[in-house]
Copies of this chain bind each other. A is one copy, B any other.
Amino acid sequence: MAQRRAMAKAITLLESTRADHRAQGDELLTALLPRTGRAFRLGLSGVPGVGKSTFIEALGLHLIGQGQRVAVLTIDPSSTVSGGSILGDKTRMERLSMDERAFIRPSPSGGTLGGVAEKTREALLVCEAAGYDVVIVETVGVGQSETAVAGMTDCFALLQLPNAGDDLQAIKKGVMEIADLVVINKADIDADAATRARAMITSALRLLGQHGRPEHAAHDATHWHPTVLQLSALKAQGIAAFWAEVQRFRQVQSANGELAARRQRQAKAWMWERIDAGLKQRFREHPAVRAALADTTTQVLDGRLPASTAARQLLALFD
């Protein structure tokens, strides 16, 4: 309990935008870093109503039953707009939140998705340093938050309803393409629909894989090929099979070096994402740019100034 309070306090410090807090936060993170990296990072997404909370509760209790400690973090894209969260309610996972081997943290609020993602990445490091074995990062399937979650986890699982329109939507948004596992939840309600959905998603994944990853042969056991599972989170059916599949993923990806390579790519991309955001913020806040930006933009919109010339003029003001 005392540890969970300390973690909550550390995460609150990292979420602060005050400059002195930020400096303390950077020191804290750097100190924690050698103790991070040992947890398995599981990303989870799915549209509202797919049953994410029920699934996480069932999975979390399963893992705790195995003696593991589980942390759950949330990225709620709606919280970046409203400052409030549609997901952050602990009561969504009633039994899990009461268990002292679990740590549940609602979505950071305010700021851009990039800012919220940064705070969640840092919270993830705090959970790892505190010795949690599995960190689950969940997001609702609206906006671009799935890409952010896939970009900070070892394995990204997509929860789907047994429903064809849902598949197409996931393919369209590019979410299917980044999924390592696809889970059809509520498979007990309509077994036929679930079986059809599984066949459709399996063939879609095969086609996506063929085109998108030509370097991987179809029957190459040393590379992971996304798989589709059916389960019922509400009845806690299929949870053990899901976790077994995650373990198989971890084993394949460790053996071929992809787990470590993915974390390195993520860290580098994270660094550049924050650099880009910082550069843009500085540019917008530069006095000469601020003075000229509105008028220059109007000239571009009115067709009086070519956009590329406008960009060069504004960049010349930024020194």
Contacts and interface: CB of A to CB of B under 8 A. Distances in A.
**Could you say which of A272, A275, A296 has the most chain B C-beta atoms within 10 Å of its C-beta?**
A275
A30 B309 contact: yes
B122 A271 contact: no
User: In which size bucket is the chain A interface?
Assistant: 35 or more
Interface of A: 22, 26, 29-30, 33-34, 36-37, 118, 121-122, 125, 165, 168-169, 171-172, 174, 176-177, 204, 207-208, 211-212, 264, 267-268, 270-272, 274-276, 278-280, 282-283, 296-297, 300-301, 303-312, 314-315, 318
Given A26-B306, A268-B301, A272-B311, 18 more contacts: A26-B308, A30-B305, A34-B303, A37-B303, A118-B308, A169-B207, A171-B171, A171-B172, A264-B301, A268-B297, A270-B308, A271-B296, A271-B297, A275-B314, A276-B279, A278-B311, A278-B315, A279-B318
A168 B207 contact: yes
Contacts of A121: 307-308
Contacts of A171: 168, 171-172
Contacts of A122: 306, 308
B274 A29 contact: no
Contact of A36 (B282, B303, B318): B303
**Could you say which of A169, A207, A271, A309 has the most chain B C-beta atoms within 10 Å of its C-beta?**
A271
B314 A33 contact: no
